[in-house]
Amino acid sequence: MNAPIHSSESTVLIVGAGLAGYHVARQARQHGHTGPISIIGDENRPAYDRPALSKAFLNGTVNFEDLHLDDPSNPLEVTWHSGSGAVELSTEPLGVRTADGTFHAGDNVVIVTGAEAQRLPSFGRSGGAFVLRNVEDGLALRERMIEGQRIAVVGGGFLGLEAVSTFLDRGAAEITVIADEQFPGEARLGAAVGQAIRHLHEQRGVKFGPPVYAHSVTDTEDGSQVLNLTNGDAVQADVIVCAIGATPATRWLRDGELTLGPSGAILCDDFGFTGIPGVWAAGDCAQWTSQAAGIRPIGQWQEAVEQARIVAAAIMGAPPVPFQEPYFWSEQYDVMIQGAGRIAQSNEVHILDGSIEGGDLLVSYRLDGEEIGILGMNRMREIKRWRKMRTARVLASA
């Protein structure tokens, strides 16, 4: 790691007003940083947390104010610059230029610009499919009439399936999921979990198409849309939601000095250091060494928060913060799915308890016989205990 500027009076410039950005600032203050902290965000809104956008926000259970990251009764001491995104990184002097022409200088620059929803090519006037990444996307879908409508959701990931759950609440007439796997999440989480997730939805009348890719969206004369599939089939729907993943929001860095990986992610070491003195990256826009090696996941809430903590400690010259076991959750209907540990590296999956039909699976992931991960459906107590015990063990052996 290159020696950064550790002074507690230095200027920290955070580029991206999302989850990681908020936590870098918060942690820097917790470490006693007294110098100026600025957070630049391209959205013209207070910084907010995203997970509810595919869940409680979509069916109106929670509102935008409920998603705010900063606590109004105890706000962070930072300067927010909202509404104009960074368009250029400068290393000499260190800082970024925003779209409105302003140059923001920093002794340390932390890039936390997140990711952008991937879209399907669309032909026609309807504007294509809905996506879910930011609050405008969430608002558009929340305001779209769903009752009595035919909905097609592209992508069998958690984001799409969470949205499906809210569409059923809102009285959708028909919901079809188009995914490249027969059982959603099967390759990543094992056959039993994929089957259990599919069962959750089928039980409630959701249909699953054959495992194919969708390649485009076109309009029809009656105002509905058509989702075109790679097997030559087409699905007609009134509303199409595309949840096929996200790509790092790093287009503005493409011609610069930072090293970007094939996905466009900013490549960093496991402290978030980019290789350019004073420049760091974390969250969904970055790929740290252990993520590139497949040891840690990308695009999860917990990962962004932990990376933010690690970067803040590194910038402040505080003792390194250890990683916890990776963790994610997803809410579908009344089922909370939680996974922890190094699930991707396992080579055996064992059902510990529960059943595919019961929506109450508890599954153990093992690597050569050793348990390295766990997943539960409505198993909150078991999953928390596993995470806490593992953290204690990881720390004890550190």
Partner 1 sequence: MSLKVCHLSELTPGEGLRIESVSPPIAVFLTEEGTVHAIDDTCTHQDASLAAGWVEDCKVECPLHESSFCLLTGEVDQPPAKQKVRVHTVEVRGDDVLVELSQEAPNLPPGVSVS
Ligand X SMILES: Cc1cc2nc3c(=O)[nH]c(=O)nc-3n(C[C@H](O)[C@H](O)[C@H](O)COP(=O)(O)OP(=O)(O)OC[C@H]3O[C@@H](n4cnc5c(N)ncnc54)[C@H](O)[C@@H]3O)c2cc1C
Q: Which residues bind ligand X (CB under 6 A)?
A: 15-21, 40-43, 50-51, 53-54, 85-86, 112-114, 132-133, 159, 249, 252, 283-285, 299-302, 304, 328-330
Q: How far is the CB of 69 from partner 1 (least distance, A)?
A: 7
Q: How far is the CB of 35 from ligand X (least distance, A)?
A: 21
Handedness of CA 289, 295, 300, 304 (dihedral sign): negative
Our finding on whether 380 is near partner 1 (CB under 8 A) is: yes
Nearer to ligand X, 8 or 259 (CB): 259
Indicate which of ligand X, partner 1, none lies near residue 73 (CB less than 5 to 8 Å, by partner kind).
partner 1
Indicate which of ligand X, partner 1, none lies near residue 149 (CB less than 5 to 8 Å, by partner kind).
none
Binding mask of the shown chain, residues 3 to 32, with x at each position contacting partner 1 by CB under 8 A: --------------------x--x------
Residue 333 to residue 7: CA distance in whole angstroms: 49
Our finding on whether 100 is near partner 1 (CB under 8 A) is: no
Our finding on whether 388 is near partner 1 (CB under 8 A) is: yes
Nearer to partner 1, 104 or 390 (CB): 390
Of 195, 54, 56, which Cα lies nearest the Cα of 133?
A: 54
Indicate which of partner 1, ligand X, none lies near residue 160 (CB less than 5 to 8 Å, by partner kind).
none
Nearer to ligand X, 52 or 168 (CB): 52
Block residue for tokens 């942690």: 27
Of 272, 392, 239, which Cα lies nearest the Cα of 325?
A: 392
Continuous segment of H or E residues that includes residue 328: strand 327-332
Instruction: Let me know: does 223 contact 192? Beta carbons within 8 Å.
Output: no
Which of 63, 203, 230, 355 touches partner 1 by CB under 8 A? 63
The DSSP line for 134-184 is SHHHHHHHHHS--TT-EEEEE--SHHHHHHHHHHHHTT-SEEEEE-SSSST
Hey, what's the torsion of the CAs at 17, 20, 311, 375, to 10 degrees? -170
Q: Using H for helix, E for strand and C for coil, what is the string for 194-243?
A: HHHHHHHHHCCCCEECCCCCEEEEEECCCCCEEEEECCCCEEEECEEEEC
Indicate which of partner 1, ligand X, none lies near residue 305 (CB less than 5 to 8 Å, by partner kind).
partner 1
Q: How far is the CB of 380 from partner 1 (least distance, A)?
A: 4
Go through the chain and tell me how many residues it has.
Answer: 398
Our finding on whether 66 is near partner 1 (CB under 8 A) is: yes
Which of 314, 362, 374, 383 touches partner 1 by CB under 8 A? 383
How many DSSP H helices and E strands does the chain contain?
Answer: 9, 25
Binding mask of the shown chain, residues 39 to 58, with x at each position contacting partner 1 by CB under 8 A: ----------x------x--
Q: Give the chain's end-to-end CA distance (angstroms, integer).
A: 20
Name the residue whose CB lies closest to ligand X.
18
Q: How far is CA 379 from CA 55, 190, 267, 335, 387, in A?
A: 19, 17, 35, 9, 12
Nearer to partner 1, 24 or 266 (CB): 24
* Residues found near partner 1 in the complex (CB under 8 A): 23, 26, 49, 56, 61-63, 66, 69, 71, 73-74, 305, 329, 336, 338, 380-381, 383-385, 388
